[in-house]
């Protein structure tokens, strides 16, 4: 498997719709446009569900790469969290 994308919709609206995405691309297949294609497909599915404007939460081990991909897809980061470990 080269990559995957999972979408979770929140059925209730608080301030905006909430959409959670989880996904990844195997390192051997990176930089081939797979993540961008998966995100585009996920966005089309969200619009079909009526989520034309949504807050997207991204939790990624490789957050820097994920942020760049979503920014190129037209998203603007409103907040970024950093996980600290010791």
The Cα–Cα gap between 47 and 66 comes to 21
Q: Which pLDDT band, with edges at 50, 70 and 90, does 20 fall under?
A: confident
- Residue 66 pLDDT greater than 80, yes or no: no
The Cα–Cα gap between 10 and 8 comes to 7
Calculate the alpha carbon distances from 72 to 22, 52, 76 in Å.
Answer: 17, 18, 9
Is the pLDDT higher at 73 or at 59? Answer: 73
Could you read off the pLDDT of 44-63 as tens digits, one per residue?
Answer: 887 887 776 666 666 555 55
pTM of the model: 0.69
Mean pLDDT across the chain:
77
Q: What average pLDDT does the segment 50-78 reach?
A: 70
Number of C-beta neighbours around residue 46 at 10 A: 19
């Amino acid at each position: 498997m080269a990559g995957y994308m999972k979408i979770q919709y929140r059925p209730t609206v608080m301030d905006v719709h909430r959409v959670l995405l989880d996904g990844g691309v195997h390192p051997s297949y990176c930089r081939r446009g797979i993540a961008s294609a998966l995100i585009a497909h996920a966005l089309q599915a969200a619009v079909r569900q009526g989520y034309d404007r949504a807050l997207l939460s991204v939790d990624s081990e490789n957050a820097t790469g994920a942020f760049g991909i979503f920014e190129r897809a037209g998203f603007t980061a409103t907040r970024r969290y950093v996980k600290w470990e010791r």
